[in-house]
Structure 1
């Protein structure tokens, strides 16, 4: 039976080697999601646009919510909330799909020439597309209500990079586990729902008691969400001292997930 390399170098190598296939599959999946609808891919723009309008109305008009330490702007809370949800949605979409990635592509499993390891990368690519559209909506709203975003907004791809590596590693792990343990998808759905409220999306970390703030930083989303808000809203990048540590850990987790997937994929055909 063919042996699959798990060396650290093989992870970027396989992504580079199959970059054209990854791009084609991402494009096919994104377009396929909206195929048959009247507006087509425009729904990817209107969906986050409507959600941002709803958030603005609910939190600024109905709840009259204000961000701790923020201004009295009616849309500020919705903008800050949406920036946190943008990060969470990329992670949750990938993790919720990961356990069924191989199960939904059984026809690829017995094709030796097909690189199964790119399936989580394709899933992440689709999530990034929708995340980019949501970011575009956020920027348009910011331009309308507040003017030009801070210059640090260009650092958005940099601050989100550690979370992308982490998401990819977890996706590889869950894609493999989902083949052998079919309950994984249900567990992950519960966990991502809990993560939505246990992450500083609807509230700042500073609003919590000191002892809970320490615990919150064990949540990998906390630093990313705070950094994203820092560069998009506050015009600062405060966690530069720990950034190298975070991205190093994320890359290690990514490779560990890749190695697990490669070591366990030999049994996929037998199980399926």
Structure 2
């Protein structure tokens, strides 16, 4: 029986070695989502524009919501909220698809030469593409309302990278678990909804009673949401100490998820 290495070096080299295949599959994934539709890939721009307009109308005009520590501009709350939702949508799209990733690509399992470990990278890449489109819409709205975004926005790739590592680690683990336990997909749907409301997306972290803020930090989305909002909207540098710890956690989660995937993948063909 073929053995699959769980070395962290293999985790990195597999992505580098198969980068052309990953890029091709990401392109197919993005195009395939809109194949047959009248507007095609323009939907990837249209969806975030509509959602941002809805957030501005509902929270800015109907609820007259204001963000603690920010100004009183009506679109302000919508932009702050949308920045957090970009992070959540990136996380949610990957994690909720992960349990069915191997099952839905069962034809690849029996192909010995196909690197199954790249499938979570493909989903993450497609999700990053849609997150980038949403970010372009966010920047355009910011330009219209406030002018040029703060220069700290250049830190954005740095503060998102640890979250991507966490997403990959969870995706590898869940993709494997989903093969052996089909209930995982249903549980993850509930879990991601809970994580959305238990992260400071719809409210600032300061709104949470101080004795519970420690629990808020256990949410893998919290640090990413707070840092993305800080660098994009408030013009603040990320909390470097927290970001450093978060990055170490991201590397650890990515490796543990990859190692679990490699150790369990030899049974995929038998189960499927």
TM-score scaled by structure 2?
A: 0.99
**In structure 1, C-alpha distance between the alignment counterparts of 2:202 and 2:115, rounded to whole Å:** 39
> Deviation digits for residues 62-87 of structure 1, max 9, x if unmatched?
11100112111000000000000000
- Name the SS for the 1:195 alignment partner: helix
Q: Which piece of structure 1 moves more, 38-47 or 236-245?
A: 236-245
**In structure 2, C-alpha distance between the alignment counterparts of 1:215 and 1:260, rounded to whole Å:** 27
- Name the SS for the 1:64 alignment partner: coil
Equivalent position of 1:221 in the other structure? 221
Q: Mapping of 1:184-199 within 5 angstroms?
A: 184-199=184-199
Does residue 17 (structure 1) correspond to residue 17 (structure 2)? The answer is yes
- Name the SS for the 2:8 alignment partner: coil
Equivalent position of 2:147 in the other structure? 147
- Name the SS for the 2:177 alignment partner: helix
Equivalent position of 1:92 in the other structure? 92
Equivalent position of 1:240 in the other structure? 240
**In structure 2, C-alpha distance between the alignment counterparts of 1:244 and 1:210, rounded to whole Å:** 23
Equivalent position of 2:5 in the other structure? 5
**In structure 1, C-alpha distance between the alignment counterparts of 2:195 and 2:6, rounded to whole Å:** 30
Equivalent position of 1:49 in the other structure? 49
RMSD, matched Cα: 0.7
| Alpha carbons 2:99, 2:185 under 8 Å: kept | yes
Equivalent position of 2:72 in the other structure? 72
> Deviation digits for residues 134-154 of structure 1, max 9, x if unmatched?
000000000000000000011
- Name the SS for the 1:11 alignment partner: helix
**In structure 2, C-alpha distance between the alignment counterparts of 1:78 and 1:184, rounded to whole Å:** 33
**In structure 2, C-alpha distance between the alignment counterparts of 1:128 and 1:72, rounded to whole Å:** 31
**Unaligned runs of at least 5 residues, structure 2:** none
- Name the SS for the 1:250 alignment partner: helix
Deviation (angstroms), 1:196: 1.1
Equivalent position of 2:132 in the other structure? 132
- Name the SS for the 1:220 alignment partner: coil
**In structure 2, C-alpha distance between the alignment counterparts of 1:49 and 1:154, rounded to whole Å:** 23
**In structure 1, C-alpha distance between the alignment counterparts of 2:175 and 2:163, rounded to whole Å:** 18
> Deviation digits for residues 45-78 of structure 1, max 9, x if unmatched?
0000100000000001111100112111000000
> Deviation digits for residues 125-172 of structure 1, max 9, x if unmatched?
010000000000000000000000000011111101110000000000
TM-score scaled by structure 1?
A: 0.99
**Unaligned runs of at least 5 residues, structure 1:** none
- Name the SS for the 2:237 alignment partner: coil
**In structure 2, C-alpha distance between the alignment counterparts of 1:76 and 1:222, rounded to whole Å:** 20
Aligned residues: 272
Deviation (angstroms), 1:246: 1.4
**In structure 2, C-alpha distance between the alignment counterparts of 1:245 and 1:51, rounded to whole Å:** 33
**In structure 1, C-alpha distance between the alignment counterparts of 2:15 and 2:158, rounded to whole Å:** 20
